[in-house]
Amino acid sequence: MTKPTIYYTDGSCVPNPGPGGYAVIRDMKPHVLGLDPDSTNIRMEGMALIAALKDAAGSPCIIHTDSEFWINVITKWAPGWEKKGWKKAGGPIKTSKSSRKYMRYIKNHKPN
């Protein structure tokens, strides 16, 4: 069995919203870096997760994140949103574009 690649991800903006960036750490070194001149903390955290999954390219991986929002999206909310056509009782989901993009990548990975 292949040993999973371990990733650490983070993202932020200063101010929020505003210019932001994200990082993916692999082998305890910066591996993927990205930026957006007009973003939010949540979007940058999500982009870091997507970048890690893209880098893993379907291989086993473990991704560490400190984003409670994205942990909840992945483990609790997105499966229900997907079943309801990416809508919730209060209206459209603000992060549906990022959430859908993330869920496309996660289909090949089992979240831990």
pTM summary value: 0.83
Total number of domains constituting the chain:
1
Q: Is residue 112 part of a domain?
A: no
Task: Give the number of other CB atoms < 10 A from CB of residue 101.
Answer: 16
Looking at every residue in the chain, the average pLDDT score rounds to 86
Helix axes 41-56, 96-106, angle to 10 degrees: 20
More reliable by pLDDT, 21 or 91: 21
Q: Is residue 10 part of a domain?
A: yes
Q: Is residue 86 part of a domain?
A: yes
- Residues 21-74 pLDDT 10s: 999 999 999 999 999 999 999 999 999 999 999 999 888 899 999 999 989 988
Q: Is residue 14 part of a domain?
A: yes
65-96 burial code (b ≥16 CB/10 A, e <16):
bebeebeebbeeebeebeeeebeeeeeebebb
Question: CATH code at 37?
Answer: 3.30.420.10
Confidence of residue 110 (pLDDT cuts 50, 70, 90): low
pLDDT at 9: 98
pLDDT at 96: 65
Q: Is residue 68 part of a domain?
A: yes
Q: Is residue 40 part of a domain?
A: yes
Q: List the domain range (segments joined by +) for residue 79.
A: 5-106
Q: Is residue 111 part of a domain?
A: no
Does the structure show a pLDDT above 70 at 81?
A: yes
Q: Is residue 67 part of a domain?
A: yes
